[in-house]
Structure 1
Amino acid sequence: MDLFEKCNNVDSKNELIQFIKALRHDLLVNSDEWENQTLDGFLEAMESWMEDTMDIGFLADQPEWKSFAAILYMGKIYE
């Protein structure tokens, strides 16, 4: 299962922990696939993605565990 699929399947605290582990492992072995390899870039991408998607209702006002995983995943790929 790839990271995007893992992200979409997070529905508990334990699955979020496993997703974070997988995300960190992916950075270590596939860093060339990461758009944002610094903490600054990663956090900026998370912030930008959240702002850019605010009006389309992707994230609920009361987010689920999957929402946290999606925010972290977007830190990897969002420009």
Structure 2
Amino acid sequence: MNFWQDAWNVHNRNELSSFLAAASRDFAENPEAWENSDIASFLEAMGAWVQDCDGVFVRNGEPLPSADAWATVAKAVAAARVYE
């Protein structure tokens, strides 16, 4: 799995769900490939990337995510905390 390339190919809810399932499988099968192997460091890194990501979108010719996109990510993280 090429996470970076696969992430840029997510354009809808089903593709995101598939991407997350593949990421979960990859973590289970290749934990040594993950720099942030616990939830605390993963969330910290995710937050840091969100703060610094504008240049990534600009360099890739992509528009910056909308406020609604950021709110959806926040809701997904909050829901995953308790969702079974």
TM-score normalised over the length of structure 1 = 0.67
State the Cα RMSD in Å.
Answer: 2.2
Count of residues in correspondence between the two structures:
64
Alignment check: 8 A CA contact 1:10 1:16 kept = yes
Query: Hey, what's the Cα distance between the residues in 2 that align with 1:10 and 1:4?
Result: 11
Structure 1 unaligned regions, length at least 5: 69-79
Deviation of 1:57 after TM superposition, in Å, equals 6.9
Confirm or deny that 1:33 pairs with 2:33: yes
CA distance in 2, matches of 1:57, 1:3: 15
For structure 2, the residue ranges without an aligned partner over 5 or more in a row are 58-63, 74-84
Greater gyration radius: 2
Larger RCO (CA under 8 A, 6+ residues apart) = 1
Q: Decide whether the 8 Å contact of 1:10 with 1:19 is kept in 2.
A: yes
Identity of aligned residues (%): 34
Residue matched to 1:17: 17
One-letter identity of the residue aligned with 2:38? T
Cα distance, 1:9 vs. partner? Answer: 0.8
